[in-house]
Amino acid sequence: MIDINLLRENPDLVRENIKKKFQDKKLPLVDEVIALDAEKRALQREGDERRALRNSLSKKIGALMKEGKKAEAEEAKEQVKQNNERVAAIEARAAEIDAQLKKDMMAIPNIIADDVPLGRDDGSNVQWNTYLEAKEKPFEVPYHVDILERLGGVDLDSARRTSGNGFYYLTGDVARLHSAVLTYARDFMIDKGFTYVIPPFMIRSDVVSGVMSFEEMDGMMYKIEGEDLYLIGTSEHSMIGRFMNTTLEEKQLPLTLTSYSPCFRKEKGAHGIEERGIYRIHQFEKQEMIVICKPEESDFWYEKLWSYTVELFVSMGIPVRTLVCCSGDLADLKYRSLDVEAWSPRQKKYFEVGSCSNLTDAQARRLGIKFKNAQTGKNEYAHTLNNTVVAPPRMLIAFLENHLQEDGSVFIPEVLRKYMGGKEYIRPVK
Question: By the 8 A CB rule, do 261 and 198 touch?
Answer: yes
End-to-end CA distance of the chain: 54
Strands 349-358 and 383-390: antiparallel
Reported as a single tens digit per residue, the pLDDT across 415-426 is 999 999 999 999
Domain edges within the chain: 4-107, 122-426
Q: Higher model confidence: residue 151 or residue 73?
A: 151
Q: What is the model's pLDDT at position 66?
A: 77
Question: By the 8 A CB rule, do 373 and 379 touch?
Answer: yes
318: closest CA among 169, 135, 152, 163?
A: 135
- The radius of gyration of the chain from alpha carbons, rounded to an integer in Å, stands at 28
Q: Cα separation of 246 and 187, whole Å?
A: 29
Q: Say yes or no to pLDDT of 183 above 70.
A: yes
Mean pLDDT, the chain, as a whole number? 92
32 pLDDT band, cuts 50/70/90, is: very high
**Burial of residue 204 (number of CB atoms within 10 Å: 0-12, 13-18, 19+):** middle
Secondary structure of the chain in HEC code, one letter for each residue:
CCCHHHHHHCHHHHHHHHHHCCCHHHHHHHHHHHHHHHHHHHHHHHHHHHHHHHHHHHHHHHHHHHCCCHHHHHHHHHHHHHHHHHHHHHHHHHHHHHHHHHHHHHHCCCCCCCCCCCCCCHHHCEEEEEECCCCCCCCCCCCHHHHHHHCCCEEHHHHHHHCCCCCCEECHHHHHHHHHHHHHHHHHHHHCCCEEECCCCEECHHHHHHHCCHHHHHHHCEECCCCCCEECCCHHHHHHHCCCCEEEEHHHCCEEEEEEEEEECCCCCCCCHHHCCCCCCCEEEEEEEEEEECHHHHHHHHHHHHHHHHHHHHHCCCCEEEEECCHHHCCCCCCEEEEEEEEECCCCEEEEEEEEEECCCHHHHHHCEEEECCCCCCEEECEEEEEEEECHHHHHHHHHHHHECCCCCEECCHHHHCCCCCCCEECCCC
Q: Say yes or no to pLDDT of 266 above 90.
A: no
Reported as a single tens digit per residue, the pLDDT across 35-47 is 999 999 999 999 8
Reported as a single tens digit per residue, the pLDDT across 381-397 is 999 999 999 998 889 99
Question: By the 8 A CB rule, do 412 and 426 touch?
Answer: yes
Reported as a single tens digit per residue, the pLDDT across 306-320 is 999 999 999 999 999
270 pLDDT band, cuts 50/70/90, is: low
**Burial of residue 70 (number of CB atoms within 10 Å: 0-12, 13-18, 19+):** exposed
Q: What is the mean pLDDT of residues 348-373?
A: 95
Q: What is the model's pLDDT at position 323?
A: 97
Q: Helix 298-315 vs helix 172-191: angle between axes, to the nearest 10 degrees?
A: 140
Strands 410-411 and 425-426: antiparallel
Reported as a single tens digit per residue, the pLDDT across 157-178 is 999 899 988 899 999 999 999 9
Q: Higher model confidence: residue 215 or residue 14?
A: 14
Domain 4-107 listed as CATH 1.10.287.40:
yes
Asked if the domains at 4-107 and 122-426 fall in one CATH topology, the answer is no
184: closest CA among 316, 289, 310, 351?
A: 316
Q: What is the model's pLDDT at position 61?
A: 76
273 pLDDT band, cuts 50/70/90, is: very low
Is omega for the bond preceding 413 within 30 degrees of 0, making it cis? no
Q: Cα separation of 318 and 251, whole Å?
A: 38
Query: Looking at the domain 122-426, which fold is it?
Result: BirA Bifunctional Protein; domain 2 (3.30.930)
